[in-house]
Amino acid sequence: MGGYFMKAISDLLALVYPEFCYACSQSLAHGENMVCTTCRLKLPYTNYHLLTSTENPLANRFYGRIDVEHAFSYLTYVRAGRVQNLLHNLKYRNVPEIGELLGKWYGSELQKSGFKEKIDLIVPVPLYYRKLKKRGYNQSDKFAKGLSDALEIPWSSQVIKRVAESSTQTKKSRFARWQNVDKLYSVTQPEEIKERRILLVDDVLTTGATLEACGQELLANGCKSLSIATIAAA
């Protein structure tokens, strides 16, 4: 009777507050959660994790810039479409659950490819404290948590922090630049990353500069290897 009652309540709530797909805005069918079945079928999956590292275009983009073991992105970033809608809801419409959902879906794909055995710790790219306070959550933390749940690999948002707001050097004195005090990220728990294979995760990859800066800091502090995964890559 309890189950029947709860079902009746949820059906009634769905009539009053219909739920919509965060990717296409169509109303969700019973049993669908956040993303409709059509969108789930039609999302532009990269499937980079099925390619060798020489075939993988994302890995090639880091070549010569930073030593990356694996570079994956769940989706191809497409403007004015499903991917942009998902990311917009995740970052600006207070729907952190999208990050976790996509992390779980991607994590189970990576798990099938044996990726679980290749990583020791998942680390989300941190936000500067002011931005974190404004948004209330770090969208990359949510993606990391979803991946962690599916892959059964621990994640931590405590090992590295963002220490500067902007990468522009215009306001820095020449002396400050010379001293290299303008770095964006700083490892706060070096013992947690030492000799470990790190998967650094972020929401969107455009130029790759953020992942590169954050990854360099992890490598400089003794992680064994660095891999990268994002929700979407442009």
The residue among 85 and 221 lying less far from Zn ion, judged by its C-beta, is: 85
Token code pair at residue 12: 């009634």
3-state secondary structure of 124: strand
Closest to 49 measured CA to CA, from 118, 102, 122: 118
Alpha-carbon 225 to chain mean position? 18
CB of 144 to Zn ion, least distance (A): 24
CB of residue 25 vs Zn ion: minimum separation in angstroms? 7
Taking CB under 5 A as the criterion, the residue among 2, 9, 17, 39 binding Zn ion is 39
CB 125 within 8 A of CB 201: yes
Select from 23-31, 93-101, 110-118, 135-143 the region that touches Zn ion (CB under 5 A).
23-31
23 binds Zn ion per the rule CB under 5 A: yes
CB nearer to Zn ion: pick between 45 and 137: 45
Strands (E), 25-79: 71-76
Q: Beta strand pairing status for 197-205 and 121-124?
A: parallel
Query: Is 102 a binder of Zn ion (CB under 5 A)?
Result: no
Over 152-209, what HEC string results? CCCECCCCEEECCCCCCCCCCCHHHHHCCCCCCEEECCHHHHECCEEEEEEEEECCCH
Q: CB count, 10 Å around CB of 18?
A: 9
Q: Is 39 or 198 the residue whose CB approaches Zn ion more closely? A: 39
* Closest CB to Zn ion among residues 16, 41: 41
Nearer to Zn ion, 99 or 215 (CB): 99
- Is residue 201 within a helix (H) or strand (E), and if so which, with residue range? strand 197-205
- Residue from 36, 58, 184, 211 in contact with Zn ion (CB under 5 A): 36
Q: Residue 21 or 147: which CB sits closer to Zn ion?
A: 21
Contact pick of 24, 132, 219, 234 for Zn ion (by CB under 5 A): 24
Instruction: Kindly indicate which of the ranges 5-13, 37-45, 51-59, 64-72 contains the residues binding Zn ion, using the contact rule CB under 5 A.
Output: 37-45
| Interaction site with Zn ion (CB under 5 A) | 21, 23-24, 36, 39
